[in-house]
Structure 1
Amino acid sequence: MKLESPSFENGGTIPKKFGYKNGNVSPSLIISDIPESAKSLALIMDDPDAIGAVGKVWVHWVLWNVSKDIKKINENSIPENSLEGETDFGEIGYGGPAPPDKEHTYIFKLYALDTVLNLERNSTKADVEKSIQGHIIAEAKLTGKYAPQ
């Protein structure tokens, strides 16, 4: 399985408009090579570099029950019938990069699952991670860097 973005290269710089304080628009994502046995997809975007600044991995986006037939998540949108959870901003939906100190690396983790998750809309990353245990059949990762503006 593969996860890419037409908005930035893997390991490259995430454009300013995707930042929390600069538009807070979610980037377009391209998904390919999804296993045929997948029943749904889940996506988690977080910032492990935030540990140094705020003492924990900061959660920026939690999305699940994405159709296994999806090939693209359009910019500033979520796929039909998928659900978004709560970020560490205390909000539902995408919360863009907002490093408080220096350039951070953001990780988009995509999971192909052998099930559809039975979670409420305001669920958290911890809820999703607990629910996907034992159900992951493939993973893909995309990283991007973002510095304070």
Structure 2
Amino acid sequence: MSTNNTNGLKLLLHSIDSSGRFQEDTTGRGRDESPEIVLKGRDPDGASVAVTLEDMTHPLFGTMTHWLIWNIEPTDRIPSAIPHGKEVGSLSARQGLAYGWHRYRGPKPPRGKTHTYRFTVYVLDERLDLSARSRRKALLRAIEGHVLQRAVIEGTFE
């Protein structure tokens, strides 16, 4: 599935089908592995890429962050199954603290409940100097004034 964008950036995620539903393999009920993310129209002047995944309909918190990764080398394809850990050497990236501590944690709402999840990809004009202990708020503060492009894609899972 593809998404709307800002400044010409478009995302393609095959893990979200044409009806907007996550395929099970990238969820907590499947392999719980990060999906491949294809970026179309990425600004060539970008110095790094950051990605967040959030549950937008969490009953207790409203929004719950599932994944944070930043300082991905500029690329048009973020591979699937990114390994766990603070540092991801193959991407020169760092993963922060979220529901998935230093890792991707896919959708897994309570059985019988449908939640909406949002991937946001940011193309930044610099690499970030953030600790791997950083959470979503710290990441968002750090990218202020450095976002060249932003694209969002949402999907649901029950």
Aligned counterpart, 1:5: 13
- Which 5+ residue runs of structure 2 have no aligned equivalent? 1-8, 83-87
Aligned counterpart, 1:125: 136
TM-score by length of 1: 0.87
- Which 5+ residue runs of structure 1 have no aligned equivalent? none
Confirm or deny: 8 A CA contact 2:17 2:23 kept in the other structure.
no
> How many residues were matched structurally?
143
Confirm or deny: 8 A CA contact 1:6 1:30 kept in the other structure.
no
Aligned counterpart, 1:146: 157
TM-score by length of 2: 0.82
Question: Offset of 1:22 from its aligned partner?
Answer: 2.9
Q: How does 1:103-122 map to 2 (within 5 A)?
A: 103-122=114-133
Identical positions, percent:
25
Using the alignment, how far apart are the partners of 2:73 and 2:18 within structure 1? 23
Match of 1:19 among 10, 27, 46: 27
Which range is displaced more, 80-89 or 109-118? 80-89
User: Root-mean-square deviation (CA), in Å?
Assistant: 1.7
Aligned counterpart, 2:4: none
Aligned counterpart, 2:81: 76
Other structure's SS at 2:57 match = helix
Aligned counterpart, 2:6: none
Q: Does 1:97 align with 2:122?
A: no
Aligned counterpart, 2:64: 58
